[in-house]
């Protein structure tokens, strides 16, 4: 790993010159760098195979880079493309509480955290609903509630709307936009849907293993639409 970048407390997510390749495989990331300011909602764009999901997994510590610097994240939550891969308990309330098992909390404190988190994603009336009875969008919101209950400061989203219908897609992204603003969270959201850019503060374009453009989401949208 290279030397750490200069510490900046206004930056929540920072990578510098990050490189990653699969064993005996092609290079996925090549000297990739980006920064996400605290309290902002940024999106990561790129074609299939451009390394978007790999970058998110490197940030989460699920993979290790060959070289480069990753600023240690504060407490974070990771929301997968398919919520069935991370919801493990039979009911909504039980699943949100599951992530609190290792924290030194009383049963009253756990109940308060769960209720607060579900209220934040507009699912409190469904606290006793079986997970199997939820829609895809509701399941993704349960996953987000789990991160809120744990008081995560950073949210990482790996194409969370890929399996959702258009209405559920926009409902979820607008919900995350509101949570970022209301709670001072930081979010990095991987997507290939250009209409979602309406909701973020900024965006990165990943190509050839690097961030080749960044900044105003509408300008990037126009670039990708050929405008």
Q: What is the pLDDT of residues 11-43, one digit of tens each?
A: 999 999 999 998 777 889 999 999 999 999 999
Report, as an integer, the average pLDDT of 213-225: 91
Q: Read off the pLDDT of residues 146-201 as tens digits, 9 standing for 90 and up.
A: 999 999 999 999 999 988 988 889 999 999 999 999 999 999 999 988 999 999 99
Give the span between the Cα atoms of 70 and 5, in whole angstroms: 9
pLDDT at residue number 23 = 78
SS3 string, 144-163, reads HHHHHHCCCCEEEEECCCCC
CA gap 118, 146 in Å, rounded:
8
Cα–chain center distance at 151: 14
pTM comes to 0.92
Give pLDDT, residue 49.
84
Distance CA 199, CA 67 (A): 33
Instruction: Give the pLDDT mean for 84-100.
Output: 95
| Residue 192: predicted pLDDT | 86
Question: Considering Cα of 217, then 220, then 224, then 225, what sign does the dihedral take?
Answer: positive
Q: CA–CA separation, 174 vs 169, rounded Å?
A: 9
Joined tokens for residue 145: 């509630």
Directed axis angle between helix 136-149 and helix 166-183, to 10°?
A: 20
Mean pLDDT of 37-61: 94
State residue 167's pLDDT score.
Answer: 86
List, for residues 98-137, the tens digit of each pLDDT value. 999 889 999 999 999 999 999 999 999 999 999 999 999 9
Domain boundaries, the chain: 91-152
Whether the predicted pLDDT of 142 surpasses 60:
yes
Contact 175, 156 (CB under 8 A): no
The mean predicted confidence, pLDDT, of the chain is 92
The CA–CA distances, whole Å, from 172 to 49, 54, 181 equal 24, 23, 14
Closest CA to 4 of 62, 70, 66: 70
**6: pLDDT strictly greater than 60:** no
Q: Provide the pLDDT confidence category of residue 90 given band limits of 50, 70 and 90.
A: very high
pLDDT at 110: 97
DSSP assignment string, 142-208:
HHHHHHHHTT-SEEEEESTTTTS-HHHHHHHHHHHHHHHHHHT-EEEEE---GGGGGG-SEEEEEET
């Amino acid at each position: 790993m290279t030397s750490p970048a200069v510490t900046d407390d206004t930056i929540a997510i920072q990578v510098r010159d990050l490189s990653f390749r699969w064993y005996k495989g092609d290079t996925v990331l090549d000297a990739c760098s980006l920064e996400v300011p605290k309290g902002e909602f940024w999106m990561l764009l790129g074609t299939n195979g451009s390394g978007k999901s790999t970058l998110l997994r490197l940030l989460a510590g699920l993979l290790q880079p060959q070289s480069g610097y990753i600023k240690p994240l504060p407490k974070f939550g990771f929301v997968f493309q398919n919520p069935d891969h991370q919801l493990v308990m039979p009911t909504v309330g039980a699943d949100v509480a599951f992530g609190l098992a290792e924290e030194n909390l009383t049963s009253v404190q756990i109940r308060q955290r769960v209720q607060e988190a579900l209220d934040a994603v507009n699912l409190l009336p469904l606290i006793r609903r079986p997970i199997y009875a939820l829609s895809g969008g509701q399941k993704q919101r349960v996953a987000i509630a789990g991160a809120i209950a744990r008081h995560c400061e950073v949210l990482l989203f790996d194409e969370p709307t890929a399996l959702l219908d258009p209405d559920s897609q926009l409902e979820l992204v607008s919900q995350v936009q509101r949570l970022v603003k209301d709670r001072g969270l930081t979010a990095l959201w991987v997507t290939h849907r250009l209409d979602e850019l309406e909701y973020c503060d900024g965006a990165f374009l990943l190509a050839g293993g690097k961030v080749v453009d960044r900044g105003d989401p509408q300008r990037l949208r126009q670039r990708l639409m050929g405008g």
